[in-house]
Amino acid sequence: MKPYKSITGLFALALAASVPPLVHAEPAVQGTRITYPGESDYSQRVTLGLNKSMVVDLDQPAADVVITNPRIADAVVQTAQRIIFRGVSYGQTNAFVFDQNGNQLLNLEIGVEMDMANLHATIARLVPGARVKVEGMNGNIVITGNASNLTEFNTVERLVKAYVGSGNNAEIVNMMSISAKDQVLLEVRIVEMQRNAVKQLGVNLSGSPTFGDLGKLVEKQLFVDAGNGIPVNAETTKLAAGLPFDVSGNIGSTLGFPIQGKSIGGLNTSFNYANYVGTDLQSAVGIAINALERIGIVKTLAEPNMVAMSGESAKFLAGGEFPVPVGQDNNGRITIEFKPYGVGLGFTPVVLSEGRISLKVSTEVSELTSQGAFQAASTTTVDGDGNVVKQEGVTLPALTVRRAESTIELPSGGSMMMAGLIQSRSRQNLDQLPGLKKLPVLGALFQSRDFLHEETELVVIVTPYLVDPAAKNQLRTPADGYANASDAKTIFFGKLNEQYGKDGAPVDASDYRSPVGFIEE
């Protein structure tokens, strides 16, 4: 085989290059004919793989072969009627073949790109459901077509990247589309039940015993009557009863409830006994009994719903924001930021196929509470310049939070308990008087009991659905069928609204009795 290249006709090609493509100039000389690339009756467009060859068999012997850019493609004339073209580098060029009389036998518009035959075969074998086409464009890769789901979409893209190789600088332009539904409705149910039991039994004793009218002997001076009614000192003494005296004291017990902090109600009973001697209180004894048994149930239910497209994130919050101080200047002014609380939902769905949805879910239910709140008192200080700086006190509420974050995979319409919690907590305290608590039967009078038992059960259930848009008249809202009651019905019958329509029927303009409002006909 002998390489054969010719530059015959380069002047004509240069003249053609000076004229814009697809613009036909009027011939300057009668009989002159200009043929643009790809517009002759012998033109064909071919794509050569890089470092791949193509054999062209002619029906007539060729005498001359012209290649515009040999750096992109070259040719080897094997015989007069067989020419082999080879792709050298990425790009576009063309070739012309003439016979010995100068007549054009063939015009090839050649594009040299990466050979995609093996890649197409691999995609057809590994991803049979994908209807895609991969083609080159000046050394880059363009993917077009349709994938049934995101899994096929990602698989085709990974196969193309693996075929191109990490050392290749080719850019991959992915223009595939996904035929599966790509809008996901996520329904989340957060249900919490709290049960608590409180028992309090307290006995407080009080007493004030008095031991009175106790006699004692004292030495007294004796006096005698001198006969005229005037007592005279007898110069002697004797033992006689002196003034009575008593001994008194106070006895009491204060048995508190350290778990609850105080008695929170219930039965409060007191018994008192008093002993009098004449009109004088001799002694008193009292007993106070506090008894309580309380049970309570708290139910929390939140059902946030939200729609998002596959691969996109969505957030939802129904609640509020509370201020939190984050700084203070020299004048005592406080800078605050607002933190959200309430029922929140955030998720990112990815539709893998018609039966599989991957979800990254974050949901929480939070509420303000005084338990654990932070309180800071106001303070007054003097700075280095002698200025008095007053820092105002603040009270920051705490949050009770139930939060769950996870990544799960579910079919459309399938449910899963994403998170759950069972918590049981018991606290019991006995306050007793040392020694007296061991008395049989009576020992119960010298102790107090404080008991608290709490149980919490929490579940988070998620259910995704693949959804389509619906007509406006197919959707319902909680306000459908609502109408304000008339003034007369509100004043005389205490009604706030008219009766709701049945089966979600909208309110007709003729049935609307409110003095204000808008009716959509």
User: For 156-196, what is each residue's pLDDT tens digit?
Assistant: 999 998 988 877 788 899 998 877 677 889 998 888 888 88
What angle is formed at CA 300 by the lines to CA 295 and CA 303, rounded to 5 degrees? 165
In this prediction, residue 364 carries a pLDDT of: 86
- Would the pLDDT of 326 be above 70? yes
Domain with CATH 2.60.40.1080 in the chain: 43-113
Confidence of residue 334 (pLDDT cuts 50, 70, 90): confident
What pLDDT is recorded for position 332?
A: 63
User: pLDDT, tens digit, for every residue of 2-17?
Assistant: 444 443 333 333 333 3
User: What is the average per-residue pLDDT within 38-44?
Assistant: 83
pLDDT at 179: 76
**87: buried, middle or exposed (CB in 10 Å: 19+, 13-18, 0-12)?**
buried
* Residue of higher predicted confidence among 390 and 8: 390
CATH architecture for residues 116-180:
2-Layer Sandwich (3.30)
What average pLDDT is seen over the chain? 77
Residue 385 vs residue 464, higher pLDDT: 464
Residue span(s) of the chain under CATH 3.30.300.90 come to: 116-180
Of 40-44, 300-304, 394-398, 410-414, the one with minimum mean pLDDT is 394-398
**Mean pLDDT across 438-459:** 77
> How far, in Å, CA of 144 to CA of 386, rounded?
75
Tokens of 447: 């102790």
Contact 431, 448 (CB under 8 A): yes
pLDDT of residue 6: 40
Structurally, what CATH architecture does the domain formed by 43-113 represent? Answer: Sandwich (2.60)
pLDDT value at 84 more than 90: yes
Q: In this predicted model, what pLDDT tens digit does every residue of 335-370 receive, in sequence order?
A: 888 888 888 889 999 888 767 888 999 988 888 887
User: What tokens does 217 get?
Assistant: 């002997």
- The reported pLDDT for the residue numbered 19 is 38
**With 90 as the cut, is the pLDDT of residue 22 above it?**
no
Phi then psi for residue 516, to 5 deg, are: -135, 165
Residue 18 has pLDDT above 60, yes or no: no
User: Pick the residue with more confidence: 133 or 255?
Assistant: 133
